Structure 1
Amino acid sequence: MRKGKVVIKRIEDRIRRQVTFAKRRKSLMKKAHELSVLCDVHLGLIIFSYSNRLYDFCSNTTSMENLIMRYQMEKEAGHTHTSADHSFHPA
């Protein structure tokens, strides 16, 4: 039996939404760590939850402040690729 396409939409039930956020946040942080180690990349991840709580991850080789400064310099120089450049964004 083949699974159908999953529709991505807001979870209306607050408790289910909180549980899903916690699980997916942990998975996303783990994937960010794996990507930084396996591919030797400088990576920063910033998440603000529905309750405005901050969660962040930065690869061990740099600080979040240094990464953000580097991002700003690259952006000013026009060397950035945004999420709009990738196919995972809905049309």
Structure 2
Amino acid sequence: MMMNKMREIYGVVNMILFPEDEDPEMLSLELFSSFAKAKERSEEIIKEFIDDYGEDYIEHVTKKNPVAVMGNGDVTGYVYIVKTHAL
């Protein structure tokens, strides 16, 4: 754990000192951080939706309309289309 933090700090310092150099490891840390933020925000949105409409509504709607998500020619997962109406 400590080694990862040290590596992350070292990478950030290098980005500040040498912004023209693209360090693949730092780019992956930025991407990981972006995904973590997106996941956290999506969890907040889902919680707000459940608070507003109830969990039964979500389960009922998400069992409909599965859509395959393709990546590199393979199905990588499924998402659901949820149709909402403005109040």
TM-score range, shorter chain: 0.3 to 0.5
Larger Rg: 2
Which has a greater percent of helix?
2
Q: TM-score, normalised by structure 2?
A: 0.37
**TM-score, normalisation: structure 1:** 0.36
